[in-house]
Amino acid sequence: MSVSINTAVFLDDLQNGTSQSECVDRLIGKPISSVEVRGEFFQPKTRDQELAHISQVCAEQGWDLRYSIPEELFDGEQINANLTDYLQLASKYHLNGLKISLGNPILSQSQLQELKKQLAAANCQVTIENQPNANGTLSKIVKAVQLLYDAVPALGYTFDAGNWAWVDVDTAAALQKLLTYITIFHLKQIKNHDTILLNKTQNWPSMLQQLDAKVPVVLEYAIPAAQLDEQIELVNAVLK
């Protein structure tokens, strides 16, 4: 499996007004397996038009398409009321996955049953992600992921390698605790709370080698255009 791309690699362009559909067009022909778009970078008036175009490009290229939801799944006893809308969006635009931050769940039996019911009718995989804040501490994520793994088996887990730096957790240590549950891996390297480009001297290759071969590895950090191909090739060399 080749590496996948989150549109965060085009962060500077996105912040300067370039559309995600334009960014995805730049990926055509590159050796990648999937694309993950980000909800916060869509304009409400053009989101559907962009998603239709991106979905078509992904189908033509043979890529999976995932959508990063800039919201939390749980707020205490409440499940995000927008989840139903996102599941409908996934069906309409042939999204293979939806990613959403865990939030702060109570994880009552009624809450778990409701989530299980919603996901049973989903046409894509929904994954929760560890957050770079108090809701993303290692103890909270391990507890939630273990419970959800048994109670809501349709729900996956996106391991964000960079977010642990913001809760003072060693990424390698977190990986050992959560390796069994990972369905998607967001790869980034953090130094002094800033993302930096990958190189061969860092520890990320050893982490990737521990993953199940079916787990998509996604680049999710700003990459200068002139170095994007190099970063893709670097990770593909480890994955193959």
| Residue 132 pLDDT | 96
Predicted confidence at residue 129, as pLDDT, reads 98
Q: Which of 149, 82, 94 is nearest to 123 (CA)?
A: 94
Give 195's DSSP letter. E
Whole-Å CA distances, 38 to 9, 92, 95, 200, 218: 11, 17, 12, 28, 13
- Residue 188: the pLDDT is 96
Residue 133 DSSP code: S
The pLDDT of residue 89: 97
Q: What is the DSSP letter of 80?
A: P
On whether the pTM is more than 0.85, the answer is yes
Question: Can you list the domains of the chain with their CATH numbers?
Answer: 4-239 (3.20.20.150)
Which residues of the chain are modeled with pLDDT < 50? none
Whole-number pLDDT of residue 237:
97
Judged by phi (left if over 0) then psi (alpha if -120 to 50, else beta), residue 17 lies in left
Q: What integer pLDDT is reported at residue 77 of this predicted model? A: 87
Residue 218: per-residue pLDDT: 98
What sign has the CA pseudo-torsion 212, 215, 221, 225?
positive
- C-alpha to C-alpha distance for 112 and 124, rounded to whole angstroms: 18
Task: Count other Cβ atoms within 10 Å, centred on residue 71.
Answer: 15
Buried b or exposed e, range 158-182, using 16+ CB within 10 angstroms = bbbbbbbbebebebeebbeebeebb
